[in-house]
Structure 1
Amino acid sequence: MTTLTIATLLIPLLILAALALIALRNGEAAEARYPPNGTFTTVDGVRLHHVETLPPGGGGDAPTLVFVHGASGNLRDTRLAFEEALADRFRLVFIDRPGHGHSDRGPADAHRPAVQARLIGGLLDALGVRRAIAVGHSWGGSVVAQLALLRPDIVEGLVFIAPATHPWPGGVDWYYDVAAAPVFGPLFSYTVAPVVAGQVAPQAIGTVFAPEAAPDAYADAIGLDLLLRPATFHANARDVALLKGEVAAAVADYPRIGQPAVVITGDEDTVVYPDIHSAGLVRDLPRARMVELRGAGHMPHHTRRARVVSEIEVLAAQVGAASGATTGETEKGRP
């Protein structure tokens, strides 16, 4: 073997090793800058990170609001959008989905919304939540749908925000497919991808919020660099790349979701297709209604916060009234 041949083989390996080291160090820096800000609870061997807030007086009989974030995010996103607006009236639970933020990834099939919903249901049991409204953004909408199917004993209402819940034409961005691929995917996720993604992240934020603007210092507020840790990047890629097959199989079960639901979408969302996902939910769920926000994109919980909060409050009042009526009927029927 010639010196030239050896160099030809070694140079790519050295480059990959350097990229892996950069990604590792960047990930360690991200964890130091954005440490866990909540509590850990272990469910079926998976340690889940969550933040819980209680209003003055404990929230009374109001249902607990449970927030499930979308792809490429963590609980800091939904907390940024909703905590200040709702914490004085409701018990709030913000959850890092498995593999995101500071939650463990868990089993090999943790990319499945149903598996994530099962773990979240177990977390709610551990927290003593007996009545909940589940709020899901984007990818989290698919989890919320599964949570409604798996745990109707807890979930009494649903809020879908720019949801991704139905199969769509075409695929996803190429780098998700590459990162999710067997064998080569982990190599890509632990070397090239995090470093490159860090360079394009600002542009990606603009695309997700378009045609509206992101909040000031949004990337820092949500700890976006946590996404660029290799293990998190790989988990996120698998979530995104494998979602289409999951929702295609789930659609047939949606008519069994009997809880009242509100589906909130921007009419200029270019990340998911409102006419497929949001319209599909309203078609398939027996008690769903649509709220379409003109001129809004994929992040209305930030850009149209007041309206989204108002819709959550309306649904909470509806759920509360239904629960009160049921309790009254039960009391009347007692001997």
Structure 2
Amino acid sequence: MLKTAIAVGTACALLGSAAVVNKRIQSREVATLRDHPPEGQILDVNGTPVHVYVEGTGPDVILIHGAGANWKDFTFSLIPILKQNFRLIAIDRPAHGYTGRIKDRAGDIESLAEQADLIHAAAQMVAAKRPLVVGQSYGGAVALSYGLRYGAETSGLMIISGVSHPWPGKLDRWYRIMGSAVGRHLLTPVLSAFATEQRGIDTVNAVFAPDPAPQGYLEHIGMGLAVRPSQVRVNISMVNALLPQIKEQSKRYDELQMPVEILHGTADQTVLHEIHALPLSKQIKNAELSILDGIGHMPHHTATDEVVTALYRLAKHAGLQ
């Protein structure tokens, strides 16, 4: 009887805790959707809702964000500067921002190729013509996949702090823990329900290090969007599934014939330039490599002038300006 009573009591406590967590998550999601609504179009791409934000006039530029981010990463620094001379198309990747999961995907997680196909289809729906494709961090891997799959329709690529080649060792412990059953089913809901603003600030500072994060960045991109359980789970799974895809994709970069700009900071401790940018620049015939001394993982915010200059150079090499 005692064991039964303990078991019943424990079950009730867990159910009660789960109810509190779920209520907190729902409350935060309501506030997030109110404070950070979609600012672009939500397109139906073969049954998948895809959020596409378009601004500016000029040659088309597709912007692909990194892990755990969303379209607003580009509306903070780059789009306000470039919109007078480029038509900028920022697209949320699957399960990020306001884009849903790819319908009828081949596996549990959307592959780089599937993401590239989705982005290409969405860009066509907003009449993009021979775009320049910009990818940052994980988005760099997607941009490279885009170039390999749609090279004849792509004017050029820009890879900013991009993942391009296999790396030694294991991923950060965070991804391994959060990718476990305990992480997915227990830690993720708790994180989503109770992550504090200070935790968000610490995370952003770690991503930008050693550069300071721009004032107002966290508020702008919407911390609540990033910590939703649906986005956290998919983002973690995508990163954990990246290495085998990169091993295969990296064998084909010599097929890229379009001009490619590669920008990478020497102080980037998230994606190391020696492992990614340097070998990538040697594999691609028409690559221009810009090594940014002392810059971390987010040069589109912390070395914006260099990134903007590189985009204009890419457009010129592609014959668009």
Q: CA RMSD in A?
A: 1.9
C-alpha separation in 2, matches of 1:162 and 1:197: 27
Q: Deviations over 1:54-75 (max 9, x none)?
A: 32xxx2xxx3111000011101
C-alpha separation in 2, matches of 1:293 and 1:35: 34
Q: Which amino acid aligns with 1:187?
A: H
Report the counterpart of residue 168 of structure 2 in structure 1.
169
Report the counterpart of residue 328 of structure 1 in structure 2.
none
Q: Which amino acid aligns with 2:134?
A: V
Per-residue deviation, 1:155: 1.0
C-alpha separation in 2, matches of 1:241 and 1:170: 13
Q: Which amino acid aligns with 1:64?
A: D
Q: Is this contact kept in 2: 1:16–1:192, CA < 8 A? A: no
Q: Which amino acid aligns with 1:249?
A: E
- Match among 66, 69, 89 for residue 62 of structure 2: 66
Per-residue deviation, 1:33: 0.9
Q: Deviations over 1:4-37 (max 9, x none)?
A: 3322333234323322322222122111110011
C-alpha separation in 1, matches of 2:169 and 2:195: 22
Please give the secondary structure, in 2, of the residue aligned with 1:50.
strand
- Match among 41, 44, 50 for residue 42 of structure 1: 44
C-alpha separation in 1, matches of 2:144 and 2:265: 19
Report the counterpart of residue 8 of structure 2 in structure 1.
6
Matches within 5 A, 1:73-222: 73-106=69-102, 107=105, 108-181=107-180, 184=182, 186-188=184-186, 191-195=189-193, 197-198=195-196, 200-222=199-221
C-alpha separation in 2, matches of 1:17 and 1:187: 14
Report the counterpart of residue 312 of structure 2 in structure 1.
313
Per-residue deviation, 1:312: 0.4
Q: Which amino acid aligns with 1:89?
A: N
Q: Which amino acid aligns with 1:278?
A: A
Please give the secondary structure, in 2, of the residue aligned with 1:252.
helix
Please give the secondary structure, in 2, of the residue aligned with 1:134.
strand
Q: Which amino acid aligns with 2:126?
A: L
**Runs of 5+ in structure 2 lacking a partner?**
none
**Runs of 5+ in structure 1 lacking a partner?**
325-335
C-alpha separation in 2, matches of 1:284 and 1:126: 32
Per-residue deviation, 1:189: 6.1
Q: Is this contact kept in 2: 1:98–1:110, CA < 8 A? A: no
C-alpha separation in 1, matches of 2:84 and 2:223: 27
Q: Is this contact kept in 1: 2:76–2:217, CA < 8 A? A: no
Q: Which amino acid aligns with 2:81?
A: A
- Match among 12, 18, 40 for residue 16 of structure 1: 18
Q: Which amino acid aligns with 1:201?
A: G
Q: Deviations over 1:61-114 (max 9, x none)?
A: xx3111000011101001212111111111111111111001112235443111
C-alpha separation in 1, matches of 2:258 and 2:187: 39
- Normalised by the length of structure 1, the TM-score is 0.88
Report the counterpart of residue 263 of structure 2 in structure 1.
264
- Normalised by the length of structure 2, the TM-score is 0.92
C-alpha separation in 1, matches of 2:261 and 2:277: 10
Q: Is this contact kept in 2: 1:113–1:142, CA < 8 A? A: yes
C-alpha separation in 2, matches of 1:287 and 1:306: 22
Report the counterpart of residue 233 of structure 1 in structure 2.
232
